[in-house]
Amino acid sequence: MKEPDKITPELVRDHNLTPAEYNRIKRLLGRAPNFTELGIFSVMWSEHCSYKNSKPILKLFPTEGPNILVKAGEENAGIVDIGNGLGVCFKIESHNHPSAVEPFQGAATGVGGIIRDIFTMGARPILLMDSLRFGNPKKQNVKRLISGVVGGISFYGNCIGIPTVGGEIYFDETYEGNPLVNALCLGIVRHDEIIRAKAKGIGNPVFYVGATTGRDGLGGASFASRELTEESEEDRPAVQVGDPFMEKLLLEACLELFKTGYSIAVQDMGAAGLTCSTCETASRGNTGIEIDIAKVPKRETGMIPYEVMLSESQERMLVIVKKGKEEEVKKIFDKWDLNAVVIGKVTDGRLMRVKDNGRVVAEIPAKSLSEDAPVYHRKVRKPDYLKKTEKFKLSDVQEPKSYETVLKRLLVSPTIASKRWVYEQYDHMVQTNTLVLPGSDSAVIRIRGTDKAIAVTTDCNATYCYLDPYEGGKIAVAEAARNLVSSGARPLAITNCLNFGNPMKPEIFYQFKKCVQGMSEACRRFNTPVTGGNVSFYNENPKGAIDPTPVVGMIGLIEGLPVTSNFKNEGDVIVLLGDTREEIGGSEYLKVVHNLKTGKPPRLSLDTELALHKVILSCIKRRLIKSAHDCSEGGLAVTIAESCISNYEMPIGAIINLSKIQFNRVDSLLFGESQSRIVITCPEKDVHEVMGIAAAHKSPLYVIGEVQGKRLRINGWVNSSVEELKDIWWNSIEDNLFG
């Protein structure tokens, strides 16, 4: 790359900066920026780094709580206390745009980046999860994206030796040109070993550690802050290239360094690379920082300062250590065969000063980059399409002729079908801590040396958010909590990844604001504060915006044995907790059978939901429950069928009688998606005790059947072999991709 002779309006526009923002930069500097400084401002003031459009709305989230050790926004990731002097460090982030352009490397480096966010805090990563969205899997380009993304995730996680224990995958045409790839990582850290990212101690050396710097990932933060177009293929150089074996070395070297007490501050070189890591550590510590990029290890010749500062090459960290400990630090990284070079020092004056072989090439107040980005209050307007979808009436839909056929169609729908083809490519047993394998309501990992376990889930029904953003936001949090309590976990906190279209469009910002309002209300009611995450705007392609997709990653604490979703023993009684109403708006039944995405999604009462949680947790604590599975996509019939067939080796049948539940239409009874419902099984001797617990919490309960035989029978509407249901459910995604 050649440095331009002067800064022109066209160059400013190419850097995704408005004329007003450029004038603001000139006022902050007291002069016009040079080319390197323009690039630095462009990435740090991008939505991806500054949250300039979302910040006012994000303030709605609750972030305080008695168990919160590190709050949202304070550091690279939040940390929650789980007792025994231990904290859980976890976060979810997106890598959507890179994955759309280069699916394998986009997904792989998304995994690598979120892992670094966790071990930067001093935590050892113990699990990965992912939340993925694709278009129709029968289409050739979507097949390419799915194979690339799943391959990238499995490659990075398997090679580095961190289990990918679960996640979720949805399919909808809205994601056809813009897939979503959200990666979650969780680690464990002792309270007294938490590492911060605040530069302190004037004169302390600044180390560059890890891989060399190249031109890959150049301008990635800016790339993620604009819409995808037909020309986005030309942005391929903005996609980073990952090396999980290098990251494994970096992880172990950093954790070894942290044990010495020599490290003062650590920051991952993620989005915006060296730029972000230098200015943010200085800003947090109210200090200055000075580096010389001539000392940065490079793998390409002729790189100009602009390229070195904006490169997003992977597996690199900035480490500030105690002065006088330089040789000891170098020895640690030499042991792991990694670069460890002093490139600068902590200074006073609060400036980020960048030199190139002694010549100053950028000099900017650190807080101007991390805290002085403009903040916008965008207009909101209720989308016109809601006027039509809200008029939907159940009477407009004909009842199907065969409910058994509908059940089978839903079980092969890729959104509902088993994700076996995906998770079998992930090593989910490495580290030997996994207690509940992928495929249940939530993943469960034991915490070594304790009697505790952590349950984790990711959830979001984007169709609900499209049809009613406020209610959809509430349900995203509620379903995550319901999945955790179904496993026996008490919900603790959430991280979120807010995936939306262009915030400049009032209809999109309406979706964003309403979703956050609904999520915030649910978080307060469940006492699950938000510990961090990220916002991913501009998820649009020439055909339009994605459905609003605020993904919730939630953790919960298990102090006992976890519960799984599959039916266990012949003779166990099947019980439905929760009421079933005529709610098929936004359901998979409407989409799959009637080709409709319309209506109002189910209504959610947070008080009813919380009462259900208390019933389930109380029953599990008393060891009354053999299985628990929340009702979600596909409704009651799909939930029961999944409980019959989710244990591949031992599918088991059930006889169901729903005559005690009031209904007007069979399709809404079987396939409606009313909230706050969980199907459980228990031995017959324990039914009355379960009924008593439910009555004490005023939670509706219906005894609906018995685990029995090799067929699923539901009244006179369904009579199917569980082997047949198992085969179509387990193999659907593979058949779609390769059939």
- Distances in whole angstroms, Cα of residue 696 to Cα of each of 481, 608, 611, 722: 21, 13, 10, 36
State phi, psi for 362 to the nearest 5 degrees. Answer: -160, 140
Q: Which of 15, 48, 613, 629 does the annotation list as catalytic?
A: 48
Q: Is 472 helix (H, G, I), strand (E, B) or coil?
A: helix
Burial 172-194 (b: 16+ CB within 10 A, else e): bebbbbbbbbbbbbbbbbeeebb
220 token code pair: 């990635």
Q: What tokens appear for 357 in the block?
A: 């072989």
643's tokens: 């409980």
* DSSP string over 716-739: TTEEEEHHHHHHHHHHHHHHHHH-
What residues contact residue 350 under an 8 Å CB cut-off, 6+ apart?
Answer: 282, 286, 287, 288, 365, 366, 367
What is the enclosing helix (H) or strand (E) of 49? helix 47-50
- 3-state secondary structure string, 250-272? HHHHHHHHHHHCCEEEEEECCCC
Query: How many C-beta atoms surround the C-beta of residue 328 within 10 A?
Result: 13
Residue 649, both tokens: 């080796």
Q: Which of 15, 95, 428, 613 is catalytic?
A: 95
User: Is 48 labeled as catalytic in the residue annotation?
Assistant: yes
| C-alpha dist (Å) from residue 588 to 122, 502, 721 | 42, 27, 23
Residue with tokens 């387990």: 730
User: 527: which 2 tokens?
Assistant: 């006492």
The separation between the first and the last C-alpha atoms of the chain, rounded to the nearest angstrom, is 46
In the 8-state DSSP scheme, what is residue 40?
Answer: H
Burial call 503-531: b when 16+ CB within 10 Å, e when fewer: bebebbbbbbbbbbbbbbbbbebbebbbb
Phi-psi region of 669 (alpha: psi -120 to 50; beta: other; left: phi over 0): alpha
Q: Are 135 and 142 in contact (CB under 8 A)?
A: yes
- Is the separation of the CB atoms in 503 and 509 below 8 Å? yes
**Rg (the chain; Cα; Å):** 26
Task: Report how far Cα 255 is from the mean position of its chain's Cα atoms.
Answer: 24
Per DSSP, 501 falls in state: S
342 with 205: CB under 8 angstroms?
yes
CB 344 within 8 Å of CB 198: no
Q: Could you tell me which of 116, 100, 23, 182 has the C-alpha nearest to residue 542?
A: 100
| DSSP per-residue codes, 582-617 | S--TT-HHHHHHH----SPPPP--HHHHHHHHHHHH
SS in 3 state form for 508-554? HHHHHHHHHHHHHHHHHHHCCCEEEEEEECCCEECCEECCCEEEEEE
Q: Which of 158, 59, 167, 79 is nearest to 123 (CA)?
A: 79
The beta-strand segments (E) located in 302-347 are 316-321, 339-347
Smallest Cα–Cα separation from 490: which of 562, 563, 564, 558?
558
Distance CA 722, CA 710 (A): 6
Q: Indicate if 95 belongs to the active site.
A: yes
Active site residues: 48, 95
